[in-house]
Structure 1
Amino acid sequence: MTTTANLALPYIEPNQAQKHVTLNTALGMLDAVIQIGVRSRSIVAPPLDPRNGERFIPASEAEAAWAGHVGEMAIYQDGAWSFIPPQGGWLVFVEDENALIVRDGSSWRNVIASALNPIGQIGINATASAINRLTVSSDATLFDHDGEGHQLKLNKVNTGETTSCLFQSGYSGRAEVGLIDTDDLSFKVSSNGIDFETALTLKTDTGFAGLGTDVPASRLHVQQDHDARLTIDTVQSGAGGGFDILNSTDGQNWRVTGSPSNFKVRDHTAMLDKFLIMPGASGIGAIMNTPRFGIGTTSPTAQLHVNGPVRIGAYAKANLPDAATTGAGAIVLVTDEASGVVLAFSDGAQWRRVTDRATVA
């Protein structure tokens, strides 16, 4: 054998002349391949002014003096480039990557990345397990962008499985958000970590939202076993609240509001109140800014058009309301007139029978 088995260092032969040449060649090779650190493995041509002893790994499409030596060790020694084919298992530190790479026999691989991809479990300041393969014990965890945005992906095998974020207190679940047993997005809460109540469901096929129901039939569907309602609470004294019903295409806007003084429906496009109710047992109601109002008809011909019988209040004479307070034009049914039951109207001062205009007495 004329060279060593692993590094192919030249042996000094018996009675060899110029032994120092062989020895120097071997020392140069040792200097090149022991404690290997290269400047870079991403450039394709030799630098213009290399330092003696500098090492590189020529990148793909290497050219000039490096042509034909892609992936090899390129060493600048004594004013010339020499090349050493790497062997499997060699470790090299790449300066411009701050990375340790290893030769796997045919290519270079990042040692850390290769060890972590894939890796069965990893614990950061904690111990991972077969279930919690990634475990982090920390006051905070940051997933940062890499120049643009950032997505966190959670995937499940099929519709019937669960992919979610579970929020715990003392390792007991209190809230869960995700695709839980379906492909619809659910928000669930629990007071004991065992029994979970669905607070909100968002349907993936319609975009409908359900409060208390997982099959919402409209954009917002509220369901409760009893007394289902929405609460709009205004805490400032004297102020009210409400909601708008609008058509953003046609421009019509209806506003429903409630306050300590009244409840009303308003044509907010025309800025006209249409319906108003005052609070309390004695609170009055009013229909306003409506030239004709129909009951039982959609085509009223008078200010009040009732398509059907109308029933008015019936009173004994002793219980008749004050005619002046009620106002002229009011009509009542008097049940105990001498001539029998009769309609009566207020002239603004007293009640008169409709039949003969005589005063009800």
Structure 2
Amino acid sequence: MSDTQTDRFSFPLLQPGQAQKEMSHNEALTALDLLIQPTAEAIGLDTPPTAPDSGQSWIVGAAPTGAWAGKAFHLAGWTSGGWRFVAPVEGMAAWVTTDGLTARFSGGSWVLGEDPCAHLVVGGNRVVGPRQSAIAAPSGGAVIDAESRAALTAILAALRAHGLIAT
């Protein structure tokens, strides 16, 4: 660990005998304000907005310009003191208001609207789990008629389209 900043988010640490300790403390609080339940107005912008409101933040794109230059993929927040940036860490998540979805930082970039999980539970009931082997479409035979076969084929196609069964 550095003697001057925290390891994960580089918050400034107070030093013995440091003058104006409140400056370091306030910078750390400003960064925390961006990070606690982060909400971004939009994701992937490369150009800073011209008239942001204090407290608004954005997820910077891959090729930032202007005041955001050199801050690719950072969380950029506008404060009364100007732009503040927080570098994302693996697994960090932020709500993106324009999309109404969560973005997660994974593998060096932000992924919008994907939440990996082992299984989905609704109301205490497991409703979706890992994908199982494919179900073969009905074919041939003297018992199943054409309408039943068409209905089963449509059901299987819908389940595949929703990703609930394998193709």
Q: Counterpart in 2 of 1:113?
A: 114
Q: 1:23 aligns with which of 25, 33, 39?
A: 25
- The C-alpha deviation readout for 1:215-268, integer Å capped at 9, x for no partner, is xxxxxxxxxxxxxxxxxxxxxxxxxxxxxxxxxxxxxxxxxxxxxxxxxxxxxx
Q: 1:74 to 1:199 in 2, by over 3 A?
A: closer
Q: Distance in 2 between matches of 1:6 and 1:62?
A: 23
- Contact 1:87–1:105 (CA<8 Å) still a contact in 2? no
Q: Distance in 1 between matches of 2:95 and 2:104?
A: 9
Deviation at 1:71, TM superposition (A): 1.0
Q: Distance in 2 between matches of 1:89 and 1:196?
A: 52
- Contact 2:94–2:102 (CA<8 Å) still a contact in 1? yes
Aligned to 1:100, what secondary structure does the other structure show? strand
Q: Distance in 1 between matches of 2:146 and 2:29?
A: 75
Structure 2 residue identity aligned to 1:115 = P
Q: Distance in 2 between matches of 1:106 and 1:15?
A: 38
Deviation at 1:40, TM superposition (A): 0.5
Of structures 1 and 2, the larger Rg is shown by: 1
- Contact 1:52–1:79 (CA<8 Å) still a contact in 2? no
Superposed counterparts of 1:173-192, under 5 Å: 180=139
Q: Counterpart in 2 of 1:5?
A: 7
TM-score w.r.t. the length of structure 1 is 0.34
Q: Counterpart in 1 of 2:137?
A: 163
- Contact 1:90–1:103 (CA<8 Å) still a contact in 2? yes
The structure where helix makes up a greater share of residues is 2
Aligned to 1:30, what secondary structure does the other structure show? helix
Structure 1 residue identity aligned to 2:97 = E
Deviation at 1:82, TM superposition (A): 2.5
Q: Counterpart in 1 of 2:165?
A: none
Q: Counterpart in 1 of 2:92?
A: 90
Q: Distance in 1 between matches of 2:127 and 2:65?
A: 49
Deviation at 1:48, TM superposition (A): 1.3
Q: Distance in 1 between matches of 2:89 and 2:46?
A: 21
**Structure 1 residue ranges, 4+ long, deviating more than 6 angstroms after superposition:** 119-123
The runs of 5 or more residues in structure 1 that have no matched partner are: 134-154, 157-161, 165-179, 182-187, 189-194, 201-361
Q: 1:6 to 1:196 in 2, by over 3 A?
A: same
Deviation at 1:198, TM superposition (A): 5.6
Superposed counterparts of 1:64-79, under 5 Å: 64-79=66-81
Deviation at 1:42, TM superposition (A): 3.6
What RMSD in Å do the two structures reach over aligned CA positions? 3.4
Q: 1:59 to 1:14 in 2, by over 3 A?
A: same
Higher relative contact order (CA 8 A, sep 6+): 2
Q: Distance in 2 between matches of 1:163 and 1:64?
A: 56
Q: 2:42 aligns with which of 26, 40, 43?
A: 40
The structure where strand makes up a greater share of residues is 1
- The C-alpha deviation readout for 1:74-94, integer Å capped at 9, x for no partner, is 111224223221111212111
Equivalent residue pairs, number? 142
Structure 1 residue identity aligned to 2:27 = T
Q: Counterpart in 2 of 1:59?
A: 61
Q: Counterpart in 2 of 1:196?
A: 143
Give the share of equivalent positions with the same residue, in percent. Answer: 25
Q: Counterpart in 2 of 1:315?
A: none
Aligned to 1:27, what secondary structure does the other structure show? helix
Q: Distance in 2 between matches of 1:127 and 1:41?
A: 31
Q: Distance in 2 between matches of 1:3 and 1:41?
A: 27
